[in-house]
Structure 1
């Protein structure tokens, strides 16, 4: 499995047999230019959308993909996908609405994209999400969980690989924290371009991989 970070909360995940999944594609220039990442031009077979905000729900994606939204389990092009409903805030969705967490089974590994999760998780929530090998987790705060809450979520979900997302960069002008707040005092492996992982190569202990945005 290969994972490429476009930016914000959007990744291209490619399975060994070539199925291409794009998560939470952004609309370039949305929110009055707050999102400055380049347009996603890559083709996809599947697109997951955690919630209907413009920095997560672009539909102009090449390749005639199947769009996956909301809670429920389905098999799309051989990829088992489970959506679990949570919230974009700490007030049960009253501020920013619902947020779907997707657990995708790819090449024998469970990849979980937390979308814009806005609150901590309970042990019951962890059971709903299920096994996690690779976790794509927001860390910037304000609109999502922050670095400290992300650490708590990671401790509960116990992934083998953690990939942070949804943090401030030169191309994201939102009032959220940069990546330094999250990686401070942590051992981090930095990756340029694509990150490739196989089930047999998953680390024993939770490891953080920082992927540089490619857009």
Structure 2
């Protein structure tokens, strides 16, 4: 399986059978300087209805769009959506957010979307074991670096990939990835937007992988 960070909260995840999932595609423009997402996809997951997370118009391939809480049984994968909020006030500020989990090549991926609060023990148990966690770390609109650190310890994934943080191409009032990785062990900063992983290749000791945005 290949995981490619397009930018912001958007990833292109490609299975060994070349089935492609794009998560939370953004609309380029304004504070988002990343170029448009024009890749082909078979499926697109949408965590919430903001234009930096739900813009599908530029994606090629006529993908199936996955939205909302519950089990979404599709031809190639089963997507499970878990209820959460875009803020720490039960959605009163920014609304609801859907956490998506799905298995690809026997690897469980969890994309937290624009999660704005820590998760309860019951919710973490409901989500279950996670191999790869795609987690926002920039704060302001989502959990911040400290909250992300706490949540990573509770979920205990094998790989953590930070997203939704400030870069030269993202002019949002959020922090950069340094706030999250500072002082942590087992951090790999790749000079690439993507990497390959297999079930057998999952690390024994949990690690953080920082990717370069592809766009």
Which of the five TM-score ranges fits, normalised by the shorter chain?
over 0.9
Structure 2 residue aligned with 1:62: 60
Structure 2 residue aligned with 1:201: 201
TM alignment of 1:39-118, pairs within 5 A: 39-60=36-57, 61-118=59-116
Unmatched 5+ stretches in structure 1: none
Superposition deviation, residue 44 in structure 1: 0.2
1:28 aligns with 2:24: no
Structure 1 residue aligned with 2:139: 141
Superposition deviation, residue 76 in structure 1: 2.1
Superposition deviation, residue 58 in structure 1: 0.5
Tell me the C-alpha RMSD between the 2 structures. 0.8
Describe the superposition over 1:7-39 as per-residue Cα deviations: whole angstroms up to 9, x where unpaired.
00000000011110000000001xxx1111000
Superposition deviation, residue 111 in structure 1: 0.1
TM-score (norm 1): 0.97
Structure 2 residue aligned with 1:5: 5
Unmatched 5+ stretches in structure 2: none
Distance across 1 between alignment mates of 2:13 and 2:210: 15
Distance across 2 between alignment mates of 1:51 and 1:74: 16
Structure 2 residue aligned with 1:182: 180
> Which stretch shifts more, 74-83 or 110-119?
74-83
4+ runs deviating over 6 angstroms: none
Aligned length: 212
Structure 1 residue aligned with 2:163: 165
- Is residue 66–residue 72 contact of structure 2 (8 Å, CA) maintained in 1? no
Describe the superposition over 1:107-149 as per-residue Cα deviations: whole angstroms up to 9, x where unpaired.
1011000000000011101012122000000000000000000
TM-score (norm 2): 0.97
